[in-house]
Chain A
């Protein structure tokens, strides 16, 4: 019996003009989205490679980096075809700020990628995440709005149910046939898209991309499943097709478009946090304060240390070169103080950073959790993280920033020699200034981390799908034919 109803539903859907529309849209928009986003990625990749080339050309040795300052660049994500997420807001480079002194390097994030074409931000991106969450959603609505309500209106449902057909078979057949149809159309679009990507040179079978790409496709199918069940539920609740589609449209706008935005608003009201700009300046003030303390402490040491306070700077440096014990002891104590302030500075800056990081994470977590009430948010989170264009990528890049700082500190700052005597200081460099500057290797976020982070969204999406189906099942079972 299931087979009969399943075929009947399938044929009904295929014969309808909605199927043609869905077919045309899936077969054109998905490959088009893949094509243009990959083109966009290629342009970004070219710019990234040329930037690296130019940078490496002018930063061959340690001394070049010391003079001109260091930089590390973030490669664009090839999976932006799946979701551009917040990639345009993520920093595209890390740069050192100011002189690289023995006090350690100061680094900052830069983002000038968004300037390249501001209209793409104004109008949005045509990535798979958008295609599925908006276009395929609308198609799914069209597939399901009258699957139950339409039959109620035409009174065919009463006729079917007057036969010996179990109700669960009817609803299961309806759900599975519309899902099969949508999944086939979607996968056809994906297949053509893959073909175009391969022609463009996308290495889909490379180990890093293959699993993520198909995970993204899998999440999309899960979302389609959830949305179809949502449509089925609304259709079961309504008595005619027109009220079903109007209700679906309203729910779609409210639950899927307005609620996620509302979550951010709520999180801001519940947990306000200072802006990055203010935090950076606060950190700068701490740095200046500690540098001032250090300077004063070193001056005090010179003015109070017996045997040193009487010396002029010329005498001191002469004695230091001659290996005088007192001068050496002064230089040693000075270095100890420097080390002490360096550690103090790092501690203070880390304290500020971790405090605001926690505050911000809390705010984002509140927003994220509220927005999870809508399945579309779960889907968008999943797609952004899978495509390396989400929060994990930002966290990874923050780690890269501290690794880059470490690299500059070890290779340059720690090798700087600085001896201060009154207003006069001498600077030197231990080691080979002309040695090649070691490079920082970019480490992408591992799939394991993505899966761990994405698990709640994944489970919720399944839960929503099952819940919507269970509700429509119950509503359908309780339907009074009279």
Chain B
């Protein structure tokens, strides 16, 4: 019986106009999105490579870094066609002030890539996240609104149930057949896009390293489409008319996609406000100025007392260096304190936002996809750690050797105690590991599965309890 019902549903769907619309939409949008996303990536990669080349040409020696400043560049993500995520808004460079300074050097993040085509951001990218979270969920709704309520309205459900057909078989065949018909065009379009990239020679990555991410992205997409599909089924079981089902679903879609995720961010800002990055940078600058003042006062005191205490010039120099070292360490400590405090607060705020947002299946899809595509916050954290390592290397190899010595007679000498013609250290960028990504996105995966089960179970129960009279 299940087979007959299943085939009936499949045939009904395959021959309907909706199927062709879905097929056409998927076959146009997904390959187009993937193709354009990859082209965009290539243009950003070109910019990155060009910037790096020009930077390296201009920074051959330590002296170049000392006078022009050092920069760490963040390469674009090859998987941004899956999700552009925060790729555009997150910093693409970390730079020191281009001016010789004493250690510890403080690198500042900056973003100068986003000014390329500002118009793009009025509309947002056409990445897989958009296609799945807007178009596919929308299609899932269109596919299911009438599956039960439509049959109720036409009276065909009564006729079916008049026969000796177990109800669970009816609903299971509906779910199976409808979902299959919805997913097949999506799958075909995805495969076609990858094939297109391969043929065009655009596949910008080693397949082995990204296959797990592609598989995860596909699985998440299925779970999100499934969640909306089951929600559609639930609403369709609850209503008696197809029109009411689609109206309720449309409102649910607006709420889950449009309102809830946005509200969660705003609520987190209201509930837990945090100082802005701009303010923190200025506070750090103030701390540096104060620290320098205190240090200079100590040095002046030392120089004034050196003649009366009978210290030799060499001893005075050594003591002066010791004072400067002490203040340098103090500054590092002060900076770390400010940063760790703000980091902690920011993380709490973002945790509140992401947890609240998880009440909508759409958010459980958008954030993980960004993490999988190296365009999320995890990759940003890794970039920050890389920058912090680079800072330490710069401090050790360059800036700690840049000395300032105040003379007894007045005036200050600055000199570099090392080889200015040596090669400067290079910034090393690292990618987040698959394990960390999986660990981070696991709650979202579990939640999406729960939403699927919950919506389906509710639809199942409602359908079983349906009173035919």
Contact = CB atoms under 8 A, between A and B. Distances in A.
Interface of A: 18, 21, 29, 32, 36-37, 39-40, 43-44, 47-48, 50-51, 54-55, 57-58, 68-69, 73, 85-86, 88-89, 91-93, 97-99, 108-126, 130, 134-135, 138, 141-142, 146, 241-242, 245-246, 249-250, 253, 257-258, 260-265, 267-268, 272-278, 280-282, 284-285, 288, 360, 363-364, 367-368, 371, 377, 380-381, 384, 390-391, 394
Interface in B254-289: 254, 258-259, 261-270, 273-279, 281-283, 285-286, 289
A98 B119 CA distance: 31
Nearest to B35: A265
Interface in B206-247: 242-243, 246-247
Contact of B289 (A32, A58, A109, A250): A58
Contact of B44 (A69, A261, A275): A275
27 contacts: A43-B276, A47-B275, A54-B282, A54-B286, A55-B282, A68-B289, A73-B278, A88-B89, A89-B89, A108-B112, A110-B108, A111-B114, A112-B278, A114-B89, A116-B276, A117-B349, A118-B86, A119-B357, A123-B366, A245-B246, A246-B246, A267-B119, A275-B43, A275-B47, A276-B116, A284-B54, A384-B122
A25 to B, nearest CB: 8
Nearest to A262: B126
Nearest to B253: A138
Contact of B40 (A40, A268, A281): A268
A264 B357 contact: no
Closest 4 CB pairs of A and B: A47-B276, A123-B261, A275-B47, A36-B266
Contact of A367 (B32, B117, B242, B376): B117
A281 B247 contact: no
A173 B262 CA distance: 37
B106 to A, nearest CB: 13
Contacts of A384: 122
B279 to A, nearest CB: 5
Given A97-B98, A284-B58, A122 B278 contact: no
Contacts of A273: 116-117
A281 B54 contact: yes
A380 B262 contact: no
Query: At the interface, is chain B mostly helix, strand, loop or mixed?
Result: helix
B67 to A, nearest CB: 8
Given A98-B99, A112-B277, A263-B123, A54 B283 contact: yes
A457 to B, nearest CB: 12
Interface of B: 21, 29, 32, 36, 39-40, 43-44, 47-48, 50-51, 54-55, 58, 68-69, 85-86, 88-93, 97-99, 108-126, 130, 134-135, 138, 142, 146, 242-243, 246-247, 250-251, 254, 258-259, 261-270, 273-279, 281-283, 285-286, 289, 349-350, 353-354, 357, 363, 366-367, 370, 376-377, 380
Contacts of A40: 266, 269
Given A40-B266, A242-B243, A275-B116, A253 B135 contact: yes
Contacts of A92: 278
A152 to B, nearest CB: 14
Contacts of B264: 119, 123
A471 B446 CA distance: 49
A126 B108 CA distance: 30
Nearest to A380: B122
B122 A93 contact: no
A394 B265 contact: no
A367 B283 CA distance: 41
Query: At the interface, is chain A mostly helix, strand, loop or mixed?
Result: helix
A111 to B, nearest CB: 5
A261 B123 contact: yes
Most buried by B among A108, A281, A390: A281
Contact of A277 (B88, B113, B265, B350): B113
Given A253-B135, A276-B113, A281-B51, A261 B279 contact: no
A326 B376 CA distance: 65
Contacts of A88: 89
Contacts of B21: 250
A375 to B, nearest CB: 14
Contact of A51 (B55, B86, B108, B282): B282
B353 A117 contact: yes
A109 to B, nearest CB: 7
Contacts of B247: 18, 142, 245
A110 B279 CA distance: 13
A89 B117 contact: no
A93 B278 contact: yes
B90 A115 contact: yes
A97 B262 CA distance: 37
B387 to A, nearest CB: 13
Contacts of A119: 264-265, 268, 350, 353-354, 357
Contacts of B135: 253, 257-258
Contact of A109 (B115, B281, B286, B363): B115
Contacts of A118: 86, 89-90, 350, 377, 380
Contacts of A114: 89-90, 111
B99 A69 contact: yes
Given A119-B357, A277-B48, A85 B122 contact: yes
Contact of A257 (B47, B88, B134, B276): B134
Contacts of B250: 138, 141-142, 245, 249
B86 A377 contact: no
A92 to B, nearest CB: 6
A117 B350 contact: yes
A153 to B, nearest CB: 10
Nearest to A390: B122
A44 B54 CA distance: 36
Contact of A126 (B93, B266, B281, B282): B266
Nearest to B119: A364
Most buried by A among B44, B254, B267, B279: B279
Contacts of A285: 54, 58
A135 B254 CA distance: 7
Contact of B270 (A36, A58, A267, A284): A36
B88 A89 contact: yes
Most buried by A among B50, B276, B277, B285: B276
Contacts of A51: 276, 278-279, 282
A124 B278 contact: no
A86 B121 contact: yes
Contacts of B112: 108-109, 111, 276-277, 280
B420 to A, nearest CB: 15
Nearest to A18: B247
Most buried by B among A18, A93, A268, A384: A268
B279 A98 contact: no
A125 B111 CA distance: 21
Contacts of B370: 122
A109 B50 CA distance: 20
Contacts of A284: 54, 58
Contacts of B259: 29, 126, 135
Nearest to A64: B289
A99 B262 contact: no
Contacts of B97: 69
Most buried by B among A51, A135, A277: A277
Nearest to A48: B278
Contacts of A272: 43
Contact of B68 (A93, A98, A109, A363): A98
A281 B366 contact: no
Given A39-B266, A273-B117, 17 more contacts: A55-B282, A57-B286, A89-B88, A115-B90, A116-B276, A118-B350, A119-B264, A126-B263, A135-B254, A135-B258, A138-B254, A249-B138, A249-B246, A265-B32, A268-B117, A277-B93, A285-B54
Contacts of A37: 266
A39 B289 contact: no
B114 A50 contact: no
Given A54-B282, A138-B251, A123 B357 contact: yes
